[in-house]
Structure 1
Amino acid sequence: MARILLFNIIRFLVLIAMQVFLFKNIGYYNLASPFPYILFIFLLPTGISNFLLFTIAFLTGLTVDVFYDTLGVNAAACVTLAAYRVFFMKITIENDMDTFITPILGEMNFKWFLSYTFFGTLIHHFVLVLLETFSFKQFQYTLATIGLSCIFTMAILLIFSFLFYKRKSRI
């Protein structure tokens, strides 16, 4: 348990630092921006309580909001992502929630992991971009921003997942 906590603290610090210092400055003509810090919320253990999950998601989004000078937009998107995560875990994973499995690519199959991260990223970006623009004036531009940012973020998430891929131990 202490090992899981230590890994998650290190993962949080590394992903937030990369988001703030590297990915904040990467974009494609203000149309696509990557937000790979959400991988931290995706990789929290499955047995975590909902209250703790929502608190961690809110604090993660608030931390990014501090560096981006946005007033709770990332926090709202991260809490929405946490709600999606609870729903997705409830319908796809068996009710054995006493285990603290980290839903990484090595533990789950690729199809499950891809659908889990893709739809979560899409929901996160949808809430994030709509709260940032807060207008339906240029709806096609907003949809293009959501789609391209989602694709950009998913590419980075998959690269990170394959870099730290570990096969399941079959004991």
Structure 2
Amino acid sequence: MNIRSLISFTLLLLMLGLVQIFFLKNLALFGQAFGFLYVLGILVLPSSIRTVPLLIIAFFLGLTLDVFYETIGMHAAAATAIAFVRPLWLKATSLTGGYDEAETPSLPEIGIGRFISYAFPLVFLYSLVFFTADQWGTGGLVGILSKSLFSSIFTTLLVILVQLLFFKRRRGI
């Protein structure tokens, strides 16, 4: 990763974090669907990034949000969980040749179908870890699963919308 792409990914993470803190903090659709747009920053990091730096980036991004949300490590745990699973999931969802090391797994790069099959399970894992920690012992399994499912759908739609609006198109979608 060169210095220019490092700066652009740093700015992307900063902007997504600010949007999450200032605009999406109190947004909940029907009390069930919460938007975790900052997860996009973890999802679109280059596939060449190694696991340990990815874990560190995800942990500190989640911890920063925990400070503003006052959630005592729930964002950090969920973000670290998807950062841990992401390299394995990239290999599992790749085509026979695998992902190009220079490729970022983003919507303009890999297309809508592959992006949804890559992103939705990771977003669902994020939501499942987050809401399990949030409702530990009080919400019941049905509450955790419903919030996780609806938040995953809402977050995935937000992630797709942001990429369609703001990311450069490189191939037909």
TM-score normalised per structure 2:
0.89
Letter in structure 2 aligned against 1:151: I
Q: CA deviation at 1:140?
A: 1.9
Deviates more, 1:42-51 or 1:159-168: 159-168
Could you tell me which of 149, 152, 160 is aligned with 1:150? 152
Aligned residues: 168
**1:40 aligned residue:** 41
**Are 2:83 and 1:76 aligned?**
no
Tell me the distance in 2 between the aligned counterparts of 1:30 and 1:102. 33
Tell me the distance in 2 between the aligned counterparts of 1:149 and 1:96. 28
The C-alpha deviation readout for 1:89-133, integer Å capped at 9, x for no partner, is: 223344677x33211112113211111110111010000000110
Distance 1:49 1:28, change over 3 A: same
Superposition RMSD in Å: 1.8
Deviates more, 1:131-140 or 1:15-24: 131-140
**2:132 aligned residue:** 130
**2:164 aligned residue:** 162
Deviates more, 1:33-42 or 1:144-153: 144-153
Where in structure 2 are there 5+ consecutive unaligned residues?
none
- Secondary structure at the residue paired with 1:101? coil
CA contact (8 A) 2:90 2:99 kept: no
Distance 1:140 1:91, change over 3 A: closer
CA contact (8 A) 2:45 2:104 kept: yes
Tell me the distance in 1 between the aligned counterparts of 2:52 and 2:33. 32
Instruction: State the identity %.
Output: 32
**2:25 aligned residue:** 24
- Secondary structure at the residue paired with 2:79? helix
CA contact (8 A) 1:45 1:100 kept: yes
Tell me the distance in 2 between the aligned counterparts of 1:6 and 1:113. 24
The C-alpha deviation readout for 1:26-76, integer Å capped at 9, x for no partner, is: 112432211010000001111111110111011111011111101111111
CA contact (8 A) 1:77 1:125 kept: yes
- Secondary structure at the residue paired with 1:10? helix
The C-alpha deviation readout for 1:106-163, integer Å capped at 9, x for no partner, is: 2113211111110111010000000110126532222211111111111101101211
Q: CA deviation at 1:165?
A: 4.5
- Secondary structure at the residue paired with 1:148? helix
**Are 2:92 and 1:114 aligned?**
no
Letter in structure 2 aligned against 1:160: V
**Are 2:7 and 1:6 aligned?**
yes
Could you tell me which of 103, 106, 110 is aligned with 2:105? 103
**2:55 aligned residue:** 54
Letter in structure 1 aligned against 2:72: L
Distance 1:108 1:135, change over 3 A: same
Q: CA deviation at 1:81?
A: 0.5
